[in-house]
């Protein structure tokens, strides 16, 4: 298979590295070439433009931030027209349900396949082989990309032949993660103001009540104030909350908690925290509770 991977940022870089380690030949394109140099040193081939990378590929994998970034690659970057008939677009990005549906139709009109495969896991999960992947698309297309997905993580959840289903599940999962961050932020604020250190509170809760890797990992980041080590930023968190609210609106499903999450992220972003890890939502809770950030 001739595989081109577009978008070698926080998640894309370790994903390409893992595919190279599994023996897949990979051509890569990234908006900033300097960020891709480590992958070139490990055997990846550089494409000067997205279209040049797409031309002649069997599988075009993309991992970019949002709908607009992907649309720019497809239209302005020329990927859609450059991909050969019969090639498959394998989208790892967290995009909207509506956009995923439109991509399926647009690729079909060009004689191309489309598979949505958003992932659960941060960059360290990719490197450690713990990534979980969702997957939806026409069965023939899914079978062709399955070896790639299985090389990236030990578990691939197949969700049928409608690609946008994978995006809806991904957004629903991120909605639940955001809810975990919200509850941790509120509970940490209450405990901290009463004199209980967040690390001790986390140990108690994760040992006695939930024993969840989400509580353990994000709780540690919050308790130890490692917000600068962003695996997923605040602005992307707001993006996903807005996308899940859009999907819920289309399906006429009330999500009361969604509005609370949106406002919590907006509060953090209004303070200029766009580039911090989305667990930095806790800082807004500390502020509302009158708890100094450096306490």
Confidence (pLDDT) at 177: 97
Residues 121 and 213 placed together within one structural domain of the fold: no
- Within a domain: 293: no
The token pair at 225 is 């104030």
- Within a domain: 91: yes
Residues 116 and 242 placed together within one structural domain of the fold: no
Opening angle at CA 157, ends 6 and 19, nearest 5: 35
Report d(CA 67, CA 79) in Å as an integer.
15
Residues 85 and 211 placed together within one structural domain of the fold: no
Examine the fold and report which residue of 142, 161, 180 is the final residue of a domain before the chain moves on: 161
Residues 145 and 193 placed together within one structural domain of the fold: no
CA-to-CA dists, residue 218 to 32, 64, 222, 271, angstroms: 29, 23, 6, 21
Note the maximum CA span of the chain: 63
Residues 45 and 17 placed together within one structural domain of the fold: yes
- Within a domain: 295: no
Provide, for the chain, the percentages of residues in helix, strand and coil under a 3-state DSSP scheme, each rounded to the nearest 5. Answer: 55, 10, 30
Report d(CA 157, CA 132) in Å as an integer.
8
Examine the fold and report which residue of 110, 126, 161 is the final residue of a domain before the chain moves on: 161
- Within a domain: 294: no
Examine the fold and report which residue of 161, 188, 212 is the final residue of a domain before the chain moves on: 161
Confidence (pLDDT) at 294: 76
CA-to-CA dists, residue 284 to 191, 195, 280, angstroms: 15, 19, 8
Q: Which residues are catalytic?
A: 170
Report d(CA 209, CA 157) in Å as an integer.
27
Place of tokens 């599994």: 22
Residues of the chain with pLDDT under 50: none
148 near 92, Cβ under 8 Å?
no
The token pair at 43 is 């055997």
Q: Extract the runs of DSSP E, i.e. beta strands, from the chain.
A: 3-6, 26-29, 45-46, 59-62, 88-91, 113-116, 119-120, 132-135, 155-158
């Amino acid at each position: 298979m001739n595989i081109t991977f577009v978008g070698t940022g926080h998640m894309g870089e370790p994903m390409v590295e893992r595919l190279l380690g599994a023996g897949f030949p990979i051509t890569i394109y990234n908006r900033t070439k300097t960020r891709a140099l480590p992958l070139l040193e490990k055997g990846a081939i550089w494409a000067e433009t997205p279209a040049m990378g797409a031309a002649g590929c069997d599988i075009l994998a993309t991992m970019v931030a949002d709908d607009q970034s992907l649309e720019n690659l497809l239209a302005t970057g020329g990927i859609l027209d450059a991909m050969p008939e019969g090639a498959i677009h394998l989208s790892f990005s967290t995009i909207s349900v509506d956009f995923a549906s439109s991509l399926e139709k647009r690729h079909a009109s060009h004689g191309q396949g489309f598979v949505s495969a958003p992932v659960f896991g941060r960059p360290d999960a990719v490197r450690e082989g713990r990534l979980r992947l969702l997957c939806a698309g026409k069965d023939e297309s899914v079978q062709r990309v399955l070896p790639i997905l299985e090389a990236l993580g030990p578990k691939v959840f197949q969700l049928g032949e409608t690609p946008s289903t994978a995006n809806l599940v991904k957004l629903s999962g991120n909605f639940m993660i955001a809810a975990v961050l919200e509850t941790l932020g509120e509970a940490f604020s209450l405990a901290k103001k009463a004199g209980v250190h967040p690390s001790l509170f986390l140990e108690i809760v994760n040992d006695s009540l939930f024993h969840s890797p989400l509580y353990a990992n994000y709780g540690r980041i919050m308790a130890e104030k490692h917000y600068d080590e962003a695996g997923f930023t605040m602005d992307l968190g707001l993006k996903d909350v807005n996308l899940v609210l859009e999907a819920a609106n289309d399906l006429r499903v009330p999500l009361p908690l969604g509005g609370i999450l949106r406002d919590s992220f907006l509060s953090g972003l209004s303070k200029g925290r766009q580039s911090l890890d989305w667990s930095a939502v806790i800082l807004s809770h500390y502020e509302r509770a009158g708890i100094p950030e450096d306490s």
